[in-house]
Amino acid sequence: MNQALTRTFFLLIFFISLLIPGCENFRIAGESGKYPADLDKIRENGRLVVVTGFNSVSYFIYKGEPMGFNYELLEAFSDHLGIDIELIAENDPGEAVRMLNSGEADLAVTGFNSDSRAAYNIQLSEPLGQSAHVIVQKKPVRSGDPGNTSGYISNIEELAGKQVFVQKGSPFASSLKALAEEYQIRTDIVEVPLDPEQLISLVDDGEISYTVCNEDLARVNAGYHPGLDVAIVIGPERNHSWAVRIENSDELLKELNNWIISYRSTNAYAQLYSKYYRNARSRTIFNSDYYALSTGRVSQWDEIIKTCSDSIDWDWRLLASLICQESRFNPDVTSGAGAYGLMQIMPETGKSMGIDITLSPRNNILAGIKYIGRLNSMFHDRIPDENERIRFILASYNAGPGHVLDAMRLAGKNGHDPLKWEDNVALWMLKKSEPEYYNDKDVKNGYFRGRESVAFVNEILDRYQHYTNIIQ
């Protein structure tokens, strides 16, 4: 591709990106903080909001479940803090810093290194790893043939006069500029609004000739694209760190640093690094139909789920999360209680709706949809807020509506809001296992172990948040 065409190509991508809506900000799992808060306030809120990059190593969805090196590190940090973590997916470092400074996020995990401190006026954590920058290019047409016309370069000096594309706002442009100055060469550095993995794919497709990214990510991607060369290293290894804002984050940074120093030396960290950076299965995951970053799919049933979800006016990704929770997308699974199929419908429930739930996966989903519709009718007038109503419907799907109505009555008579789930009705679902409360005169359905239903709601909505992060 010549220089004029290449610039036109990326301008087109940029303007299209302005027209395409970003990842949804509807987070039924909980609202993000609106004001900068240090650790004491974060603990009080019970939620750490993190803006994180996403790619085939750091954060992705595979077969319906969230995975990734940064994702699992954040899960471990969440366990350490004893509070939930809410993730916002964003690959643009500048946008991640904006979210930090506005208070929309408390922590940013978007590929920062030591160069980022001055560039973005942020505080960096202790390093979680190190990696050099490398040039990514296609291997020569015939290795060792000096007459090949592939554009392959074998040393840094040969970058002279070449056009190199890098992610806008990343540290790679400054690396190239320093390199050009050191070697007294002139290189055309083009910064574009695409993340490093997208640029690597364009190199593999032959749309561009060169990009620069971290060596660890480049080597993983070379496993997906065997025709790539990632051998030319630019400069020394650089620390990878997480970022917090300059103001009002001192306690969070202190806690984070202490945790990193401790966790970095554990076997768990070493195993996690190997899982994502040295795993022979990575290529299988990357090429799977259910690697959602490239396919937008979580299961073989997605088209049925999309069609059926329209009838109850649900986002198909929410319904998919419910199905994943119930059956892990296995259409033949049967529970100990006799619930069957993708949506774990009891046979008598299916019969009451005139549907043979065992006839096909589609029938099973249709029965589940019809039952959700019944629950929506039951709670529509009781719970006017749609987001809250979804929580009550999910709880009822698991526990049965009778136990949820009991918990609503208990919440109301004990000073809590019977129309809100989290920290209100959910608390009284938990208390339905205590004699003092399941024997209450207003409880119509007796004892219930509510812990499983509360976890059921939380896990579905957390997974749904990951789906909205990754799947447009």
Residues involved in catalysis: 326
CA distances from 59 to 48, 260, 344 (A): 17, 19, 29
Identify the CA nearest to 215 among candidates 229, 201, 203, 205: 229
Q: Which residue has the tokens 């690697």?
A: 291
Q: How far apart are the first and last CA of the chain?
A: 30
Q: Which residue has the tokens 């496993």?
A: 223
